[in-house]
Amino acid sequence: MQRNGLSEIAESPGDERGGLRLRRLGYGDLPSVISIERRSFPTPWSLAMFVLELSKPSGICLAAEDDRGLVGYLVCARYDDVWHLMNVAVHPERRRRGIATDLIERLFEEAGSGSRFTLEVRVSNAPAIEMYRRFGFRSAGRRRRYYHDNGEDALIMWLEAAEGASVA
């Protein structure tokens, strides 16, 4: 299994949970990613932003799909010895079914035991904050007026040592 973000993710029957398959996010997924992105965020990423992140060999970009197609994705960049969880989204009709949890658990497996993570999340996004807390992320401050659409603050969260543990 990958430990540095560089090798491919093996697909196997063990990767499927309830018809959900987790795999590498690819350029061919971008039309579906953009569709989900626009439904999920008031200031969605541009196509160029996704292309840039997919082009970085050290990052981990994951897709969740079922028989109907792409239902979620995750983008995580590596900076020195810290992983920055930059984007996680699930199709609005498929939320609250554990897809984001599955993506983050796979991220932890891929990044390796003892990896450190950080992220920013809107202070108003209580469901996401609660999910991150279940993984062990802790608040470490705020970025004032981080979100350009409404000037909302971002909560900065850190996970100091992910051991591949799943959400309780």
CA distance 115 to 164: 9
- Residue pair 102/66 in contact (Cβ under 8 Å)? The answer is no
Start-to-end CA distance of the chain, whole Å, equals 23
- Alpha carbon 155 to its chain centroid, in Å, reads 16
Whether 120 is catalytic is yes
Query: In 4-115, where does DSSP find H-type helix?
Result: 30-40, 47-55, 99-111
Whether 132 is catalytic is yes
| Catalytic position from the list 37, 65, 105, 132 | 132
- The helix or strand, by DSSP H or E, that contains position 80, with its residue range, turns out to be none
Q: Is 18 helix (H, G, I), strand (E, B) or coil?
A: coil
Nearest-5° Cα angle at 9, 7 to 10: 120
How do strand 115-122 and strand 60-66 relate by DSSP bridges?
A: unpaired
| Catalytic position from the list 8, 53, 120, 152 | 120
| Active centre residues (catalytic) | 120, 132
